[in-house]
Amino acid sequence: MTGAAGRLGHAVRGGGVVPVLAAAVLWGTVGPAQVLAASSASPVAIGACRMLLGGLVLGLFTARQAGVRTLWQCNTRWWTWVSILVTAVFQVCFLEAVARTGAALATAVAFGTVPAVTGVCGRALAGERFGGAWFCGSVCALGGIVLLLVPADGAPADGVGVLLGMIAGAAFGVYVAATKQLGDRGADTAAAAPTSVFCAGILVSPWAFAHPDGLAEPRSLVLIGWLALATTALGYLLFTWGVARISGATAGTLSLAEPLVSTVLGVVLLGERPGPSAVAGAVLLLGGLVLVSVPALRHGRYVSSGG
């Protein structure tokens, strides 16, 4: 067994594939779970509760006091604050985009935007060069978003929802760059995720206190529990445990299950029926994601999206 098949077989034997794939599947359920719950609570309030509970539980299992201290050193605290701010923006905008456009299209727009933004950040912060795959992937993403805005059956796409999805993707792209900067400056990146998530929850919590309507509904509590405990705490735990046992290339390939799962669940389980132009746009977006990912996978570079 040689090449990619050999690496995959080695990864399966090493026990890393199953937990990483499980994490990607869990992250892919975020949008569909929100739509399925049909909670009357504000998506912003739901996101705040998710971040507070999920970040707290995740921190209990992964964060060490010494590791947290490394995030607040003179040379790292700025990037810690950036990661907190963009985490809050991502959670709020992504959940609102799902509420407006549906799980499948919101996920496609958000994660189709990420590679272009990470490329720009890499160029600005580390002088990384733009490759041909990055340009092609970015053009595909832009074309996909334009197609998503084309009216289908006389009903125009929710432009605000698409814009929020793009902002969510951009925020996560900046989060990737911030995490890399923290690692380069000697911070404990294992503590960065729970710290960013929990502190972002504190940042957004005033909205939840000001708009608590619907949060006490059983369906809202179930949704918050799933998003916080399953997709955040358990998802990151599985990923952290599994990624140490496989290559970056394998992890990157498995991560593509996240938008795939969200799209499949949106169409099959939720009955979302995007028009032909929206389907073409989603395909272009996901195609752009693959184009940008392949060169990075060949060099073993990977950062989890984390839903």
Determine contact, residues 106/281, Cβ cutoff 8 Å.
no
Distance CA 28, CA 227 (A): 11
| pLDDT one-digit tens code per residue, 178-219 | 888 898 899 988 898 899 999 999 999 999 999 999 999 999
> Residue 7's closest CA among 21, 17, 20, 22?
17
- pLDDT score of 281: 78
Q: Tell me whether residue 5 is in a domain.
A: no
In a domain, 303, yes or no: no
pLDDT digits over 43-86, tens only?
A: 999 999 999 999 999 999 888 889 999 999 999 999 999 999 99
Rounded Cα distance, 229 and 233, in Å: 5
- The count of domains in the chain is 1
pLDDT reported for residue 218: 95
CA distance 53 to 47: 10
Instruction: Pinpoint the alpha helices (H) of 15-150.
Output: 17-27, 30-37, 43-62, 65-70, 77-101, 103-126, 132-148
In a domain, 104, yes or no: yes
Does residue 112 belong to any structural domain of this protein?
Answer: yes
For residue 47, is it within any domain?
yes
Q: pLDDT tens-digit profile of 221-244? A: 999 999 999 999 998 888 778 766
More confident residue, 11 or 151: 151
Instruction: Tell me if 20 is assigned to some domain.
Output: no
Residue 291 lies in a domain: yes
Q: Which domain holds residue 222?
A: 27-298
The answer as to whether 217 is a domain residue is yes
What integer best gives the mean pLDDT of the chain?
82
Q: What is the pLDDT of residue 101?
A: 86
Handedness of CA 171, 173, 178, 183 (dihedral sign): positive
Phi-psi region of 135 (alpha: psi -120 to 50; beta: other; left: phi over 0): alpha
